[in-house]
Amino acid sequence: MAKSFLMINSSMNNSSWLLLVLFFFIVASSLKGSEAAVYNVLSYGAKPDGRADSTLAFQRAWLSACGSAMPATVYVPRGNFMLRPVVFSGPCKARIVFQVAGTLIAPSNYWSLGNSGYWILFIKVTGVRVYGGTLNAQGSGYWACKSSGKSCPGGARSISFQWSSNVVISGITSVNSQMFHIVIDNCVNVLVRNVKIRAPAQSPNTDGIHIRSSTGVTIASSSIMTGDDCISIGPGSKNIWIQRIVCGPGHGISVGSLGEDANEDGVQNVTVTGAVFKGTQNGVRIKSWGRPSNGFARTISFRNILMKNVFNPIIIDQNYCPDNSNCPNQNSGVKISRVTYKNIRGTSATPVAMNFACSPTNPCWGIALQNIELTYLTTQATSYCKNAGGSSSGIVVPRSCF
Ligand SMILES: *[C@@H]1O[C@H](CO)[C@@H](O)[C@H](O)[C@H]1NC(C)=O
């Protein structure tokens, strides 16, 4: 190696030096060019006053970035930008960073989002990173509409990714979504990190992060206070990793609801490790509709979890039947197996800290309990089992009922 390098070196004449210098010049100028590919929404007419409609300006900035042959940045500076429902679609020519310093705010009239189902939607993108900023969907008017019994629109999810891959969502804050805050749907390889989600405990259907039909999703180091599930994992989710989550108020971390449809993809390989639940309705839950389905949930691991006054710290519920319509007196077809609960401690707000209510036609099997310590007030909590089987090891309090 050293010898041949010397030979090349000594055989270089003046013209090859010139070529070398030219080569470095080209590399250096292309690097400079990629730094310069920044598309500031202000240059496209966006107004940071929180009132003027900036939707078209954002869309134009996105189109420019998406058409750029080099990696590009869409930049949203400080200020409040009012956006109607907006779609950022791919495929794009190169990677894109969507960097937000300011706040994106929805129109105050909830009808302007409510019928589209989404507010900010990324679709068919690859290699997109969304960094920073605040999303404020101003959902309170919409929630009030729902609780008044008036006729209301279907509601919008604040930020969704569909049919996308290699996505990073980091450092964003989402407040007061109409429906779910963040949705990962039909995606591959997604990282959600350092996000902050805020909505009141009583806000309906404001799930923090919802995953469905996606493979390889990591959610890490995030704080979620909302009115429904902090994280919900729907049908077709595979290889999901959830780490360092603080949840509450909210309904906990839930696999489900599964089995709403007769024909449905299952959920497999989900890990939740490192989570604190504060006063939530549930801690870790698996939930299925009580009706026929070919769905399943298998190889699920919940570990290193602290419960603080949680109403159902550990729960499997296969009898979900909202409004008692289309399911009473039926059994869930969803097959639940190989669920591990390890190093889970803290306090339950109800006497039953572990509740396994499985399907009579599809009993749960392979539930493993290891090092569980859950108390209720100053006494021991209890456990409840129906159609559930498994094993326990180490200290398990309350004792298992398999
Ligand atoms: C399970 O998912 C994790 C990512 O969460 C992945 O690293 C691992 O390879 C998966 N295991 C299997 C057997 O697919």
* CA-to-CA dists, residue 138 to 96, 108, 109, 144, 188, angstroms: 27, 6, 9, 12, 30
* Ligand 1 atom with the shortest distance to the CA of 241: 5
In a domain, 316, yes or no: yes
Q: Are residues 223 and 256 in the same domain?
A: no
Ligand 1: distance of its center to the CA of 126 in Å?
21
Amino acid at 34: S
Q: Of 228, 260, 276, which residue constitutes the final position of a domain?
A: 228
In a domain, 377, yes or no: yes
Q: Of 228, 260, 293, which residue constitutes the final position of a domain?
A: 228
In a domain, 146, yes or no: yes
Reported as a single tens digit per residue, the pLDDT across 101-144 is 999 999 999 999 989 999 999 999 999 999 999 999 999 999 99
Q: Are residues 146 and 203 in the same domain?
A: yes
Q: Are residues 262 and 396 in the same domain?
A: yes
- Identify the residue whose C-alpha is closest to ligand 1 atom 6: 239
* Ligand 1 atom with the shortest distance to the CA of 271: 5
Q: Are residues 319 and 286 in the same domain?
A: yes
What range defines the domain where residue 378 resides? 252-402
Residue 35 has pLDDT above 80, yes or no: no
Q: What CATH number has the domain bearing residue 398?
A: 2.160.20.10
Q: Are residues 336 and 190 in the same domain?
A: no
In a domain, 244, yes or no: no
Reported as a single tens digit per residue, the pLDDT across 284-308 is 999 999 999 999 999 999 999 999 9
In a domain, 326, yes or no: yes
Q: What is the mean pLDDT of residues 40-69?
A: 98
Token pair listed for 42 = 């202000």
Ligand 1: distance of its center to the CA of 188 in Å?
13
> Using CA atoms, how far apart are residues 187 and 150, in angstroms rounded to an integer?
35
In a domain, 7, yes or no: no
Q: Are residues 174 and 281 in the same domain?
A: no
Residue 9 has pLDDT above 60, yes or no: no
pLDDT band at 34 (very low <50, low <70, confident <90, very high): very low
- Burial (Cβ within 10 Å: 0-12, 13-18, ≥19) of residue 30: exposed
95, 181, 210, 251: the active-site residue: 251
Whether residue 239 has its Cβ less than 6 Å from ligand 1:
yes
pLDDT band at 324 (very low <50, low <70, confident <90, very high): confident
Q: Are residues 396 and 355 in the same domain?
A: yes
DSSP 205-231: T--SEEEES-EEEEEEEEEEE-SS-SE
- Identify the residue whose C-alpha is closest to ligand 1 atom 13: 269
In a domain, 390, yes or no: yes
Q: Are residues 205 and 259 in the same domain?
A: no
Q: Are residues 259 and 219 in the same domain?
A: no
Whether residue 241 has its Cβ less than 6 Å from ligand 1:
yes
Domain count, the chain: 2
Q: In a 3-state reduction of DSSP, which class is residue 340?
A: strand
CB 252 within 8 A of CB 227: no
**Is 181 known to be catalytic?**
no
pLDDT band at 14 (very low <50, low <70, confident <90, very high): low
Q: Are residues 209 and 71 in the same domain?
A: yes
Instruction: Determine the pLDDT at residue 378.
Output: 83
Q: Are residues 55 and 204 in the same domain?
A: yes
Planar angle of CA 194, 92, 49, nearest 5 degrees: 60
Q: What is the mean pLDDT of residues 323-328?
A: 84
The residue whose CB lies within 8 Å of the most ligand 1 atoms, and thus the one to mutate among 214, 239, 299, is 239
Task: Mention every residue, 6+ apart, whose C-beta is less than 8 A from residue 255.
Answer: 233, 237, 267, 270, 285, 286, 287, 297, 300
Ligand 1: distance of its center to the CA of 214 in Å?
13
Q: Are residues 213 and 273 in the same domain?
A: no
In a domain, 162, yes or no: yes
